[in-house]
Amino acid sequence: MLSINFLPNAVYQPELCIRTTIETAKGCNFPLQQILFELTEVEKVEDYAHLRSIIEHYQSLGFKTALDDFGAGYSGLNFLADFRPDYIKLDMALIRNIDQDQGRQAIVKGIVQVCRDLSIEPIAEGIETLEELTILRSFNIDLFQGYYFARPSFRSIVSDINLLDLLAPLNPTKS
């Protein structure tokens, strides 16, 4: 997936804003269904109806949508009910040391259940340790990102690491 972040109050006419993205994707033969628009929540939403129309428009074109940094900023459960993104990205502050914090575990388990009931896929952000990954996998979270897997880079990381090796400790059948 290719992620593109946007601020909720920055898009006035989604049809015009999305035009360059569509043209570029088509020019590069990049499938639209592999583009993920992430709504960042560092600002208060001024017009909920407008934001809902943006998300619905993007989804109608085949794009996926995500609520970024869920659990921080202005994000809340009402966003899930109102906007129904395809994904939510659990904020790394909720994830940090979750293996040692029963409060965070209970909160994340509850959010994951709500997501499942609403057909929203959770993504855990900020994974830094095998212990964090292990507990989150036990909550039936399947999508992750963080330094445990790779640090940000401008070059291809595929040749540098084997992601299956990182997950091997979680698969008892692999030797």
Q: What is the pLDDT of residues 65-115, one digit of tens each?
A: 998 888 876 666 777 888 889 999 999 999 999 999 999 999 999 999 999
Domain ranges of the chain: 2-170
Q: How confident is the model at residue 167 (pLDDT cuts 50, 70, 90)?
A: low
Query: For position 174, what pLDDT does the model report?
Result: 47
| Residue with tokens 């074109």, as numbered in its chain | 61
CA distance 25 to 28: 5
Q: How confident is the model at residue 154 (pLDDT cuts 50, 70, 90)?
A: low
Contact (CB, 8 A) for 83 and 32: no
CA distance 172 to 168: 8
Contact (CB, 8 A) for 122 and 87: yes
Query: For position 23, what pLDDT does the model report?
Result: 86
Query: For position 4, what pLDDT does the model report?
Result: 85
Contact (CB, 8 A) for 46 and 11: no
User: What's the sign of the alpha-carbon dihedral 62, 58, 80, 88?
Assistant: positive
pTM, full prediction: 0.77
The beta strands (E) that lie in 49-120 are given as 64-70, 87-90
Percent of the chain with pLDDT over 70: 78
Average pLDDT over residues 43-70: 84
What does the block give as tokens for 171? 């698969």
Higher pLDDT, 8 or 140: 140
Helix, strand, coil % in the chain, rounded to nearest 5: 45, 15, 40
Q: How confident is the model at residue 46 (pLDDT cuts 50, 70, 90)?
A: confident
> Which fold, 2-170?
TIM Barrel (3.20.20)
